Structure 1
Amino acid sequence: MPLPDADKKSPRVYTNLQNLDLDNVTFANIQATGNPIAVEEMNEDEMRRLVLVNLARLVTAGEWTGLLSAGGGGDWNPVISPYDWDGDDDAIRVFALPPFGTVSRNLNETAVQDDEIALFPFIAPTTGTISQVDFFVGGSPASGTGAINVGFYSDEDGLPKTFIGEFVLDCTSVGQVTQTTSSADVDTVLGTQYWVGFYADNVGSTPNFANMDWQDSGAPPTPGTQYGSGGVPTAIFKASAGGNATITDYTTFSPNTNNPINIGVKW
């Protein structure tokens, strides 16, 4: 049945595509058929046919190229303040950035205990290779042991996926700890979501840190409750983790209301 009020003859769209199944029609076929069709009233029927075929192709193939991305309108292009704010390349507190971040900070909070790992998401504020990670070890207990392995992960469908590399930060003394050596290059792209994993490596006397308090400030999309005894999970967590590694089985993880260590990151 033809389109309502349309000429039954299709001089271009159906003529060009009539020997193709919907499974085999590509966006390139649609582009070639539409070029040239002038945008004018006399070509309205052919433009409607072109849209109809393309929608049928998308539904059949489940492939959305050309509808969401060809014109560039489907991409999120965040505009974030320039990285080198005052000329000396300050470390960025990634857990203070939107959309997950909060400006509330607490000192002397436990993050993870020995052989535990907690992972938190963040959005990269710049494109480049991470050159440094730092954090602040608090004064309780007076002397900690072990290290926190700060691992970075790619994201897939809102979950950490592939382990990229890690910075190992010693926890045996109070004060700011800085690490400029990583196990592998950690490259980020502006506006892309990544995850940070905090793994407690041989931490016998559990150190405390300067933390980003996600539980009572209500800044992230999954904040904890400010009043009452419960909190909404802000991380995924695993005991007996064995270290940072590519994650393939999320059934071994559980939601957790830990707060992330207030790390500073340089690119």
Structure 2
Amino acid sequence: MKKIATLLLAALLTVGLTGCAQEKASGDGDKSTGEDKTIVIGASITPHKDIIEAAIPGLEEKGYKVEIEVFEDYVLPNTALADGDLDANFFQHVPYLENMASEQDLDITWTVKVHIEPMGVYSDKLTKLDELEEGAEIVIPNDPSNGSRALLLLEKAGVIKLKDVEQPSIIDIAENPKNIEFTELDAPQLPRALQDVAAAVINTNYALEADLNPLKDALFLEDSDSPYANVIAVRTEDKESQKIKDLSEAMNSEAVKKYIEETYKGSIVPAF
């Protein structure tokens, strides 16, 4: 009897262990086949988070679960992506991405262009840039790519003239007829500085967050053919993965294009 009981117990243990192994294999099925169906995307809250949400139904149809992590700055989304905490991010244009990747040695790249946010010059005090007084203060973004973009916009508006360099900074101002004082600030702070300065050059996402309408409130606005298209950024090693290909396709879908055109009515334009 003892021998029979021992054999039965051994059989039960074998079945139990086999069941656990099968359950584990089933639970890890997606990973073993390389099918990761969760996409974690870092984004600025406006308009990037909203545009991603317009793409989610198309991704859900393919079985994906999309998680959006909102960031309020221009640095952490890239470091979080490079560290593997995100699958992708959506908040930046190509010059900024390439500059930061080079400076911080981040192995990240981009897949598709999604939209263009025309940078604008805003003021609480002026109705046109011709009203700028001698020695007036203008604030611009303090990161190299957006600072350069702001200066190029002011040159196009006739406020200054720049030296012929690839990425001009304040020291590359060749002509400044009104002796404008330029101050560099973190991009999110620019709208809040409007009450203290003559004008500010603001990225559209931060202008929208501050209830500024680029088409109505900007004294001068970038052309819609701006090279600063916002892109989906990914780790270089993941660029050709099916998940990233599906995400890129969804972000360039007709549903997303329609959402951008109908929601922003020209203040933000599709780049595809």
Q: TM-score range with shorter-chain normalisation?
A: under 0.3
**TM-score, normalising length from structure 2?**
0.24
Q: Which structure has the higher relative contact order (CA within 8 Å, separation 6+)?
A: 2
Q: Which has the higher helix share?
A: 2
Give the strand-richer structure, 1 or 2: 1
